[in-house]
């Protein structure tokens, strides 16, 4: 059994187990889910440790260099004179995906630990949770566009229900907004996907194919097909390839999220229950970044090159805009949601620079943000669970009341704002460095972009420290008075078990970035080489 397939489908098996068990066994579902995520974690750690590095295993556009490949002929519908429809079940990892898998496994465990607080419809919740888990893992592994699309869409459904049923006050609004917004992007992606399908022929079998790696190779395109580089077709007056890139980019940009397509995020994050927020922020946003790297940069590199300025500009706007918005928020969860927008702006900036430092920095930032946002949302959840209030101005002086909690909050806040010693510093510094370098190296991004991006570091210090000062320091003054004082107990054992690994991981990555970089370096170099030979 291919280990990747095991990794992808094991949550589904556990989910089925939950579905068949009677509804009354509430506690058992929690543990089953925890075990499922732990199993996944063990598998991905195994994958990570045995992942081979070196130029021969770079992957990206060489199918043979991917690892743990499973390619099974799945759908082969004979369409008469249109040829044979070839859809394969094709999964594999390279340097870019392995890190994402690792990170999403860890985040899922934390989310499973956080799911203890769910108090209604446990069976449905945990079944949907595991379905989501499967979909997310599948997205990171799949190398066939159709399969990718299936998993991508499959993510939306459980999330809609998870937000809409177990969420906060405005949950239906948030769920529908999230669902429709994301769907809007992905339906157009479907069109481009089909366009690509009809443009590309698998050299081995001669049929059209959805294989992403083969879509990266311009030699596989039919002469007059719509997305061929040589044919210079136009769609609505624009070059077809540009349209394809833009449409795909919009689909992933909604997920990243890039300003101005980000407005679903504050609502979704705020209304979702804590574990769902953790998954949303920790994993889903990265799918957008991963999609941009794998699909947009991979399949339409020349458009990415010519549009690098705009991508970088969007990144800088996201950084500054997200940070300014975060500064103005009263709701702690909304503040963290906007800070996510800001931090993902660094990712986009790094990707746009198309230098080794930039893309590596962007990937590090994705991993780092995955851990840190999971930590941040977990911490918000701790307070919310106790007093059902997230307003910053309702609390003062929590440092005296909850010392252990404050320590973790300070770790999370300072790590997020880029204090050296933690992973976000490496991610942000190298994204900016890449953007800076780009001016000299490949002339894509002007230097002022990196400088503006670094102002984002200043703003993140501003809003995080202001929140620390408002909520945790000073004399104790709680809106709910004595009742809240009694309710606000310090971190329990389960919460510490969830938070401590995250803190240690971000510290480890900050002190030893080679843990991440060693795996991705070859792939990043291969990617850049691939992009620049277009």
Partner 1 sequence: METTLSHTDIITIQLAIAAVAAPFVVFLLNFFLVPKRSKVSGMLSGAAIGASLVLALLIFFRVWNQPALHVQQVWFTIGNTQIRLGIWLNNLSVLMLLLVSAIALPVHIYSIAYMKGDERYTRYFTYLSFFCFAMLALVVMDNLLLLYAFWELVGFASYLLIGFWFTREKAVQANKKAFIMNRIGDIALLTGIMLVYTHYHTFDLVTLFGAHPIKTTREVWVTIAGLCFLMGAIAKSAQFPLHTWLPDAMEGPTSVSALIHAATMVAAGIFLLGRVYPIFDSTVLTTIAVIGCFTAFMAATIALTQTDLKRILAYSTISQLGYMMMAMGIGAYSSALFHLATHAFFKCLLFLAAGVIIHEMQHLKHKHHLQIDTQDINNMGGLRKIMPVTFITCCVAALALIGFPLTAGCLSKDGILIQGFAWAEGKSWAYSIIPIGAVLTSLLTAFYIGRLMFKVFFGESRLEGISTDSEPEAHEENPLLYLPMILLALGSLFPLFSLDPLKFENAWIVKGFAGFAGKAESAGELIPLLISALSVGVVFIAYTVYVKQKLQWLKFKGVLFNISYNQWYIDSFYNGVIVKAMVGLSRAVAWFDTYVIDGVVKLVAGIGLVLSRVSAWIDKYLIDGFLNALTYFVKQTGNFIRGFQTGRVQGYLFTMLIIVLALYILKTFI
Where does this chain bind partner 1 (CB under 8 A)?
177, 180-181, 259-260, 262-264, 321, 324-329, 355-357, 360-361, 397, 399-400, 414, 419-421, 425, 429-430, 432-433, 436-437, 439-440, 450-451, 454-455, 457-458, 461-462, 465-466, 468-469, 472-475, 512-514, 517-518, 521, 524-525, 528
Kindly state the smallest distance separating residue 398's Cβ from partner 1, in Å. 10
Residue in 304, 424, 407, 412 with CA at minimum distance from that of residue 354:
304
Q: Rank residues 116 and 473 by Cβ distance to partner 1 and give the closer one.
A: 473
Contact 29, 123 (CB under 8 A): yes
Q: Rank residues 158 and 513 by Cβ distance to partner 1 and give the closer one.
A: 513
Kindly state the smallest distance separating residue 394's Cβ from partner 1, in Å. 18
Q: Rank residues 187 and 204 by Cβ distance to partner 1 and give the closer one.
A: 187
Q: Rank residues 64 and 421 by Cβ distance to partner 1 and give the closer one.
A: 421
Q: Which helix (H) or strand (E) holds 67?
A: strand 67-78
Residue labelled with tokens 């200043």 = 458
Kindly state the smallest distance separating residue 293's Cβ from partner 1, in Å. 15
Number of Cβ within 10 Å of residue 526's Cβ equals 21
Q: Which two tokens stand for residue 481?
A: 């008075």
Q: Which two tokens stand for residue 280?
A: 């949303």
Q: Rank residues 29 and 414 by Cβ distance to partner 1 and give the closer one.
A: 414
Residue in 357, 396, 386 with CA at minimum distance from that of residue 491:
386
Kindly state the smallest distance separating residue 446's Cβ from partner 1, in Å. 13
Q: Rank residues 116 and 466 by Cβ distance to partner 1 and give the closer one.
A: 466
Kindly state the smallest distance separating residue 381's Cβ from partner 1, in Å. 23
How many whole angstroms separate alpha carbon 345 and alpha carbon 260? 12
Kindly state the smallest distance separating residue 409's Cβ from partner 1, in Å. 13
Q: Rank residues 16 and 455 by Cβ distance to partner 1 and give the closer one.
A: 455
Kindly state the smallest distance separating residue 15's Cβ from partner 1, in Å. 32
Sign, CA torsion 175/252/197/212:
negative
Kindly state the smallest distance separating residue 182's Cβ from partner 1, in Å. 12
Phi and psi dihedrals of 443, rounded to 5?
65, 25
On the CB side of 462, CA atoms within 13 Å amount to: 14
Q: Rank residues 201 and 334 by Cβ distance to partner 1 and give the closer one.
A: 334
Helical H segments across 200-229, by residue range: 212-215
> Does residue 73 sit in helix, strand or coil?
strand
Eight-class DSSP state of 58: -
Q: Rank residues 281 and 337 by Cβ distance to partner 1 and give the closer one.
A: 337
Kindly state the smallest distance separating residue 112's Cβ from partner 1, in Å. 28
Q: Residue 504: exposed, middle, or buried by beta-carbon count in 10 A (0-12, 13-18, 19+)?
A: exposed
Q: Rank residues 90 and 414 by Cβ distance to partner 1 and give the closer one.
A: 414
Contact 209, 201 (CB under 8 A): yes
Q: Rank residues 146 and 436 by Cβ distance to partner 1 and give the closer one.
A: 436
Number of Cβ within 10 Å of residue 14's Cβ equals 25
> Does residue 164 sit in helix, strand or coil?
helix
Phi and psi dihedrals of 76, rounded to 5?
-130, 70
Kindly state the smallest distance separating residue 56's Cβ from partner 1, in Å. 16
- Give the max Cα distance, the chain: 78
Where b means 16+ CB within 10 Å and e means fewer, 247-268 reads bbbbbbbbbbbbbebbebbbbb
SS3 content of the chain, % helix, strand, coil (to 5): 75, 5, 20
Kindly state the smallest distance separating residue 171's Cβ from partner 1, in Å. 17
Q: Rank residues 301 and 510 by Cβ distance to partner 1 and give the closer one.
A: 510
Q: Quick one: how far is CA 236 from the chain centroid? A: 32
How many whole angstroms separate alpha carbon 473 and alpha carbon 285? 32
What is the total residue count of the chain? 534
How many whole angstroms separate alpha carbon 99 and alpha carbon 518? 10
Kindly state the smallest distance separating residue 204's Cβ from partner 1, in Å. 33
Residue in 93, 96, 163 with CA at minimum distance from that of residue 128:
163
Kindly state the smallest distance separating residue 437's Cβ from partner 1, in Å. 5
Q: Rank residues 77 and 328 by Cβ distance to partner 1 and give the closer one.
A: 328
Radius of gyration over every alpha carbon of the chain, rounded to an integer in angstroms: 23
Contact 340, 281 (CB under 8 A): yes
């Amino acid at each position: 059994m291919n280990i990747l397939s095991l990794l992808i489908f094991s949550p589904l098996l556990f989910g089925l187990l939950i579905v068949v068990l009677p509804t009354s066994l509430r506690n058992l579902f929690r543990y089953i889910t925890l075990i499922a995520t732990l199993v996944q974690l063990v598998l991905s750690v195994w994958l990570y440790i045995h992942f081979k590095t070196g130029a021969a295993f770079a992957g990206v556009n060489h199918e043979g260099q991917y690892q743990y490949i499973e390619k099974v002929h799945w759908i082969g519908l004979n369409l008469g004179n249109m040829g044979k429809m070839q859809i394969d079940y094709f999964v594999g990892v390279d340097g870019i995906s392995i890190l994402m898998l690792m990170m999403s496994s860890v985040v899922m465990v934390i989310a499973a630990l956080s799911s203890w607080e769910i108090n209604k419809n446990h069976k449905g919740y945990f079944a949907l949770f595991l379905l989501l888990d499967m979909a997310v893992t599948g997205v990171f592994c799949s190398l066939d566009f159709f399969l990718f699309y299936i998993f991508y869409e499959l993510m939306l459904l459980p999330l809609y229900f998870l937000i809409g049923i177990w969420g906060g006050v405005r949950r239906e609004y948030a769920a529908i907004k999230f669902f429709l917004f994301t769907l809007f992007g992905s339906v157009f992606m479907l069109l481009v996907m089909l366009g690509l399908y009809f443009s590309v022929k698998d050299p081995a079998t001669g049929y059209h194919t959805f294989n992403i790696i083969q879509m990266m190779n311009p030699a596989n395109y039919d002469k007059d097909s719509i997305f061929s580089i040589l044919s210079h077709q136009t769609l609505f007056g624009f070059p077809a390839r540009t349209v394809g890139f833009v449409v795909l980019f919009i689909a992933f940009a909604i997920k990243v999220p890039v300003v101005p397509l980000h407005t679903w995020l504050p609502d979704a994050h705020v209304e979702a229950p804590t574990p769902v927020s953790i998954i949303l922020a920790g994993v889903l946003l990265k799918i957008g970044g991963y999609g941009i790297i794998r699909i947009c940069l991979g399949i339409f590199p020349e458009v990415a090159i010519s549009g690098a300025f705009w991508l970088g500009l969007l990144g800088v706007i996201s950084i500054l805009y997200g940070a300014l918005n975060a500064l103005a928020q009263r709701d702690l969860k909304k503040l963290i949601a906007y800070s996510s927008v800001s931090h993902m702006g660094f990712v986009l900036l790094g990707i746009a620079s198309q230098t080794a430092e930039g893309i590596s920095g962007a990937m590090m930032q994705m991993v780092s943000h995955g851990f840190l946002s999971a930590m941040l949302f977990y911490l918000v959840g701790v307070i919310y669970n106790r007093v059902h209030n997230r307003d910053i101005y309702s609390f003062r002086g929590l440092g005296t009341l909850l010392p252990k909690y404050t320590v973790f909050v300070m770790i999370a806040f300072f790590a997020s704002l880029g204090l050296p010693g933690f992973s976000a510093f490496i991610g942000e510094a190298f994204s900016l460095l890449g953007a800076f370098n780009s001016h000299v190296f490949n002339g894509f991004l002007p230097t002022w972009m990196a400088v503006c991006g670094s102002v984002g570091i200043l703003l993140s210090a501003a809003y995080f420290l202001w929140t620390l000062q408002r909520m945790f320091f000073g004399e104790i003054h709680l809106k709910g008075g004595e009742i809240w004082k009694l309710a606000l107990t310090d971190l329990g054992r389960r919460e510490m078990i969830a938070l401590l690994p995250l803190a240690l991981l971000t510290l480890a990555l900050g002190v030893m970035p080679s843990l991440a970089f060693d795996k991705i370096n070859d792939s990043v170099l291969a990617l850049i080489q691939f992009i620049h030979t277009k």
